[in-house]
């Protein structure tokens, strides 16, 4: 059990480190977007699943459960996208995110 936790933590840290390295050294904006989307896609699935589980306990209608789950997935996806774009190294002048 402890070995599985350790392997999971090492794999997660390595994945995060490789992603940050790739975001820091990739010169093309479209490739940065693709890398970010590779990290955001699992977050969207997790947001859908979590929201669906909560909605399943709170309301009997399957249609409303799905509607709330999709809204939750969109919210989590947008949040993850903006968090990752905020961590990306700025590109050439005029292509980075506006910072205040």
Note the pLDDT of residue 91.
58
Quote the pLDDT of residue 83.
87
- Is residue 55 within 8 Å of residue 65, measured between CB atoms? yes
The residue range of the domain holding 10 is 2-87
Q: How many CB atoms lie within 10 A of CB 39?
A: 17
Helix (H) or strand (E) run with residue 71 in it: helix 62-87
User: Domains in the chain: how many in total?
Assistant: 1
Q: Per residue of the chain (100 residues), what is the pLDDT tens digit? A: 788 999 999 998 998 888 888 888 888 888 888 988 988 999 999 999 999 999 999 989 999 999 999 999 999 999 999 888 876 556 554 555 555 5
Q: Identify whether 93 is part of a domain.
A: no
Return the pLDDT at 93: 47
pTM here is 0.72
As a whole number of angstroms, the distance between CA 47 and CA 24 comes to: 27
Task: Examine residue 45 and state whether it is found in any structural domain, yes or no.
Answer: yes
In a domain, 16, yes or no: yes
Contacts of 67 (CB under 8 A, 6+ apart): none
Is residue 100 in some structural domain?
Answer: no
pLDDT in the model for residue 49: 96
Q: Does 62 reside within a domain?
A: yes
The answer to whether residue 36 is domain-embedded is yes
């Amino acid at each position: 059990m402890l070995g599985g936790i350790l392997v999971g933590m090492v794999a997660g840290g390595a994945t995060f480190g490789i992603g940050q390295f790739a975001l820091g050294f990739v010169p093309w904006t479209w490739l940065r977007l693709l890398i970010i989307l590779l990290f955001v896609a699992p977050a969207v699935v997790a947001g859908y699943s979590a929201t669906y589980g909560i909605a399943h306990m709170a309301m009997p209608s399957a249609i409303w459960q799905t509607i709330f789950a999709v809204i939750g997935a969109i919210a989590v996806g947008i949040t993850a996208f903006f968090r990752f774009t905020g961590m990306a190294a700025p590109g050439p002048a005029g292509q980075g995110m506006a910072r205040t």
